[in-house]
Structure 1
Amino acid sequence: MKILCVSDQIDPLIYSNTIKDRFSDIDLVLSAGDLPLDYLEFIVTTLNKPVLFVFGNHNLKELPYYRPSFEDRFRIHSPQEERDALTSGAIHVGSKVHKEGNLIIMGLGGSLRYNNGPNQFTNKQMNYEICKLIPRLLFNRLFHGRFLDILLTHAPPLGIHDKEDPCHRGFKAFLWFMRMFKPRYLIHGHIHLYDLQDVRTTIYHDTQVINAYSHYVIETGANP
């Protein structure tokens, strides 16, 4: 199975009329955040493959329709406006566990809190987001023989591909999650790669951590 991972940058190799030729063998697309929904809509309609996504800490115009706060529920007045925001064709998996074919995918969007902006979380809050999903993970373990296959995030784990500045520091919560639930992959964005020598993949215990910046293709081999 081939998975196209995208995040953070509109890639001219993807946003072009050659996308079908270049990525004709792709089975699934995963977006790790900070991309406009019309870009994801282009990928959905052109490749005609499932696109799953989480929101990052930028490009959040449509976030209130997918993850409304208490205040957002009062600000969204137009049903048509809401329908328009939800018709990209991409599937939001933020703070959800989703089964796509034989793959079990869990999404955790947002970044570590650094200026109290939207979709930013403290480590304690991210622990809470994870704990809400543990019953579904236990169900998966019981009925599918594993908790999950892929954890799709925006931010990286603490100490893996992250940076020292507060904006780009990773979540400590993702470290214990990988040790406990053993996803095959953790796919993240948020950390821009400007040098071909920058590290893009790292093994942590049983998990391959991958930075999806711009685009990256992974081949999972046999389906789980």
Structure 2
Amino acid sequence: MRLLVVADSAHTWPEDPDGRYDLAPLVDRHRPDALLSLGDYSTAHAEVMVRSGAPVRLGVYGNHCTQDYMPGHGIVDLIADRRLPARHTTLTLAGHRPLTVLAVQGCVRYKPDRHDVLFTQREYAAAIDPLPAAELVITHCPPAGINDDQDAAHEGIAALRRWVDRHQPRWLLHGHTYDKPPSSRHGITDVIYVHGHAVVDLHGSSA
């Protein structure tokens, strides 16, 4: 399964001759099965995702996503409720076996703003701790101690770290933080960090 993953910034996105962001060249070149957004985008970015020509578009909201822009642009919201920190679901794409997914949105609350997608560690724990195992984690914010940072705005999710250590997913995709290695390992889990865009192949996910 090949994913064109975008997160947090458009600084690596191609531009058309008029200087407008254009993801279509990446879709044409890499032929992904889906375009996956890890969040922190806006309606304007969603319109670029729509024009990309990707056969499927899906994602989670980041903490700075102040609008519910995904459903109105034909992007599947993997959680479908801004009040819910996480959801266990299944990703089914043509030509590939279904993958069980833990989808996590927003980041750890570091300010009182009610428009951003923010949750306390306790709220993340209540949502994530009971969830069963999954093969793939799709999250805006990383787990605590895995590619997170010391400042409050980029603190990792403690419950997600417990869940990862308990269930050992095969892959974990995240954005949110800065200047992390594009790929690393935590136990048996392939950790993939994206800032801008990346083409990610999930080997072993074919039918």
Match among 150, 171, 175 for residue 136 of structure 2: 150
User: 2:13·2:197 contact (CA, 8 Å) conserved in 1?
Assistant: no
2:104 match = 108
Distance 1:47 1:86, change over 3 A: same
Distance 1:112 1:217, change over 3 A: same
2:155 match = 169
Distance 1:37 1:148, change over 3 A: farther
Give the TM-score normalised by structure 2.
Answer: 0.80
Match among 179, 191, 195 for residue 209 of structure 1: 191
User: 1:179·1:206 contact (CA, 8 Å) conserved in 2?
Assistant: no
- Alignment of 1:182 with 2:168, yes or no, is yes
Q: How many pairs were matched up?
A: 186
Residue 112 of structure 2 aligns to which amino acid in structure 1?
N
Which ranges of structure 1 fall in alignment gaps of 5 or more residues? 64-84, 138-146
Whole-Å separation in 1 of the counterparts to 2:178 and 2:205: 30
2:91 match = 99
Give the Å deviation of 1:33. 1.0
Give the TM-score normalised by structure 1.
Answer: 0.74
Give the Å deviation of 1:164. 0.8
RMSD: 2.2
Whole-Å separation in 1 of the counterparts to 2:183 and 2:41: 21
Residue 197 of structure 2 aligns to which amino acid in structure 1?
H
Residue 111 of structure 2 aligns to which amino acid in structure 1?
N
Whole-Å separation in 2 of the counterparts to 1:156 and 1:185: 12
Which ranges of structure 2 fall in alignment gaps of 5 or more residues? 16-20, 80-85
Q: Larger radius of gyration, structure 1 or 2?
A: 1
1:50 match = 56
- Alignment of 1:122 with 2:108, yes or no, is no
Aligned structure 1 segments of 4 or more residues deviating by more than 4 angstroms? none
Identity %: 26
Whole-Å separation in 1 of the counterparts to 2:105 and 2:63: 8
